[in-house]
Structure 1
């Protein structure tokens, strides 16, 4: 033996503690990086959903407007049509033939930035965001029905050929007598019963929540009033009753300008926020839509610095409809615009 102490191997307590601290710092950095990435992904996801909902909302609204004034085979320039009502009809009226015929010439009807109860019993203040426009569309359904389908249904149906029509309840349909009695020629030149179509009335508006509060939900679920997120809603005539259904959440503002044809050629000569009388409403052949979508959840506490121009500044009670977001609400927004031609009423006015 040489008398030397044996050599010790391993780490000292100080080295172990330093290593643990370094390891914890590295783990904390990774966790912080992952949390930042996750938060960023959530923000991107919310903004993507905002854009998707906005595009979907304006596409759905535009598509339904394209069908406004569709009356099947009826050709109003040569067909007997009901006279224009002296006053605008109640968009929430009872499902009766008189109610339907009163609105037949008014395939489009709207309210400019109303407050309070904008449409009587079927659309109340609790279900509508004050200052947002309301648009009602009237038309026949695109799906042809048989007299046997309509018989016994307490819903409104339109049966039409080029020069005649009947608008009545399905309970008046008699399958053994060719339905409502309007006939048309088929490809072989034989007179057959004209198809029946559902009479459709749809009102589009912005609601303060994702579920209706006072209106009856179309899906029958009345368990709650949803989340407090502004939502594009549709109120529609379902059989003999009105029901509401959500279309797109996060839609904060809707403004409309109506193109009026004063030359009877299918081209708008002027735009108004609120046509003055039934005749001007009957002369509407196009619209400008302004729809503001926001994220459903705030992305922080920042203030959106933009002012959104929701119109061209045409004459109307609410001016240019500038929208300034609330301070510090943290929502991102995107404005969608579209110009829609009403193909059916405009097309019937075109001159060769």
Structure 2
């Protein structure tokens, strides 16, 4: 088995995509020449945008759009070359607005842009092991001012706490109302942001006092999963292959990337951590972390942490998956754990 195929097996949360070039909502006059589209496209490739004109209409001009952004205009029925190198991975939605004989009509199609990066298999070394509360169904994990914060899930058992990771001593804990299933958390500008699972509700706390300052509703019809930040924007996952960029002031989702490993989407993205300009992400139900390029969604590295389970002293179930990534800038090490695990592992990572 080739090395890159082994990496795909590690991240078996992948879903193989259908062929690109499916027609979508096309009219009876013009259509994209979808038969000329490849199954997948790579970022270094170009796409020739052109339409079929079976009724031999006299075309004045065509305005082409990619993802609702104008790509260019052609005279008559000439093709428009389009470079894919600056596009984010995932489906690219194509539209042609055709002007002909005093009228206009649209044609639509889509193609799929996939990653040209072969992920590297990363190594890790456990340098310390600390106690972890077996009653903590871990959803979010983050350091702030050398203090570890953790959010947990399950209705009636969800809480947010900050504690001494070396001893497990809890400094302060906030229990969520029983109607909420707690999810990911992140801390930015002395504010703690906390998501809930399917309640489409989030909370903002003061990071020093942990007093609730605001409750907000999700901007999109999505689930709440993982959360992190880069010092400016907040990022959150929703259980799909998407990582959303969120404005911390308006709490509105600005945009998203799709996570791909080769030609495959990596679905069920869960806990997130921003480390040295990359996303480190848990894949739900997989004992692995994917390292993701935030610019386009390409997986550049995979960290197989399945060996950590052997170090646990308590008995865990199928629900008690690896989840929780926290980078400590003071020690420049990464802390990982899982739902209801009895240990918190401090590790270093290398190629």
Q: TM-score, normalised by structure 2?
A: 0.26
Q: Which has the larger radius of gyration?
A: 1
Indicate the structure with greater strand content. Answer: 2
Q: TM-score, normalised by structure 1?
A: 0.26
